Amino acid sequence: MTTAPAQAEAVETPTIYKGLAGVVVDTTAISKVVPETNSLTYRGYAVQDLAEHCSFEQVAYLLWHGELPTDGELALFTQRERASRRIDRSTQAVLQRIPETCHPMDIVRTVISFLGTEDPDEELSTPEANYAKSLRMFAVLPTIVAADMRRRRGQDPIAPHHGLGYAENFLNMCFGEVPDPVIVRAFEKSMVLYAEHSFNASTFAARVVTSTQSDIYSAVTAAIGALKGSLHGGANEAVMYDMIEIDRPDRARAWLNAKLDANEKVMGFGHRVYKNGDSRVPTMRRALHDVSAHLGETRWCDIYTELEAAMGERTGIKPNLDFPTGPAYYLMGFDVASFTPIFVMSRITGWTAHIMEQVASNSLIRPLSQYSGQPQRSLTSA
């Protein structure tokens, strides 16, 4: 005769990977992060080389198609992107309708969601349909972000300029002129560096939504929501607010010590995957220095250096990409609240590449959880 195992023996406690840390959930051919060698590649190319030698349009093409474009392919791609930059009247009306007081990420999230409602092919997720939608979002996002920034400054929007490249056109729509090539190149580098980073939280959110066979606009809307948080993309804004509060390099150490003594996180430092420095930081730090030298304004670079040194000495934790990008965008003249929407303009390429990869090899993403609530009880005995 066999006896039933005791209740306690029957329940095995599973290993819980809080925050999915260290868990490999799928394969991807889009990018590779190797923290041990501090390397990041997009489709096999080192991100530093892409940032140095390629336009953002070339990198977008690479992420979507798997190969860099030939001259002919780039010309066609560019033509299509430039022809899709304008927003129609109904989208402009939505933009005007949202209160100026809300965070610009809410604007971007809402407008992308609205674009879905206007697309007669919203539910179509063939590779061709999703590619067309990705290209449209890529083309239109700078127009939305620039129009919103100008609206909050009490300025009229500037229409996209068909004759300008992606970076020049965005800067022109923000400031009414194309700045010096030093600024344009630094901005374009930030776009390349921000474009893609494997299964980060926002990309994973997009893949989760896609895995239910939902549409690409819904997936991107979810990704924007995930990027907004200050532990992810929102950190670039938080970094700059902190630097403004610090104000002078000689105040950086005391500020940092007070922050750490209060057990608070220092924004722009640390990373879930890189524990020995973010592969993108050296390139972006150089871009920040280029902008700073060009403008003859060294204050933010000096605060950067002080904070990095003090944080290193006290915790050993290194900056992530948001740390140099925050002051670089500030020096370029952007409003701090627009920094994360600018990140969206870049990451739309990585998100949509992942959405298309998920569609091509889908399995519903649905992990398990360990129940920690009340034991089963009877309603009648309550």
Ligand X SMILES: O=C([O-])CC(=O)C(=O)O
Ligand Y SMILES: CC(=O)SCCNC(=O)CCNC(=O)[C@H](O)C(C)(C)COP(=O)(O)OP(=O)(O)OC[C@H]1O[C@@H](n2cnc3c(N)ncnc32)[C@H](O)[C@@H]1OP(=O)(O)O
Residue 267 binds ligand Y (CB under 6 A): yes
Q: Between residues 62 and 311, which has the closer beta carbon with respect to ligand Y?
A: 311
Label the pairing between strands 39-42 and 31-34.
Answer: antiparallel
Among 136, 265, 289, 294, binds ligand Y (CB under 6 A): 265
Q: Between residues 12 and 245, which has the closer beta carbon with respect to ligand Y?
A: 245
- Residue 322: active-site member: yes
Min dist CB 289 to ligand X, Å, is 21
For residue 64, the partner it binds in ligand Y, ligand X, none, with Cβ less than 5 to 8 A by kind, is: none
142-161: contacts with ligand Y (CB under 6 A): none
* Residue (of 265, 321, 330) closest to 299 by Cα position: 330
Q: Between residues 243 and 321, which has the closer beta carbon with respect to ligand X?
A: 321
Residue 321 binds ligand Y (CB under 6 A): yes
Residue 233 binds ligand Y (CB under 6 A): yes
Contact 344, 141 (CB under 8 A): yes
Q: Between residues 19 and 120, which has the closer beta carbon with respect to ligand Y?
A: 19
Closest residue to ligand Y, based on beta-carbon distance: 270
* Residue (of 193, 147, 160, 177) closest to 51 by Cα position: 193
Residue 317 binds ligand Y (CB under 6 A): yes
Phi/psi zone of residue 213: left (φ > 0), alpha (ψ -120 to 50 degrees), beta?
Answer: left
Min dist CB 273 to ligand X, Å, is 6
What residues make contact with ligand X under the rule CB under 6 A? 197, 200, 271-273, 320-321
Residue 256 binds ligand Y (CB under 6 A): no
Q: Exposure string (b/e) for 54-72, b if CB count within 10 Å is 16 or more?
A: bbbbbbbbbbbeeebbeee
Q: Exposure string (b/e) for 97-111, b if CB count within 10 Å is 16 or more?
A: ebeeeeebbbbbbbb
Residue 20 binds ligand Y (CB under 6 A): no
The encoded tokens of residue 374 equal: 């009340």
Q: Exposure string (b/e) for 361-377, b if CB count within 10 Å is 16 or more?
A: eeeeeeeeeeeeeeeee
Residue 347 binds ligand Y (CB under 6 A): no
For residue 258, the partner it binds in ligand Y, ligand X, none, with Cβ less than 5 to 8 A by kind, is: none
Closest residue to ligand X, based on beta-carbon distance: 200
Q: Between residues 47 and 256, which has the closer beta carbon with respect to ligand X?
A: 47
Among 270, 324, 327, 350, binds ligand Y (CB under 6 A): 270
The encoded tokens of residue 273 equal: 């995957």
The residue type found at 160 is P
| Residue length of the chain | 382
Which residue of the set 148, 197, 232, 271 is catalytic? 271
Residue 253 binds ligand Y (CB under 6 A): no
The encoded tokens of residue 381 equal: 């005995």
Among 25, 46, 83, 231, binds ligand Y (CB under 6 A): 231
Contact 272, 21 (CB under 8 A): yes
Which residue of the set 148, 322, 335, 354 is catalytic? 322
SS3 42: strand
Q: Which residues are near ligand Y by CB under 6 A?
A: 19, 231-233, 235, 265-272, 317, 320-322
Annotated catalytic residues are 271, 322
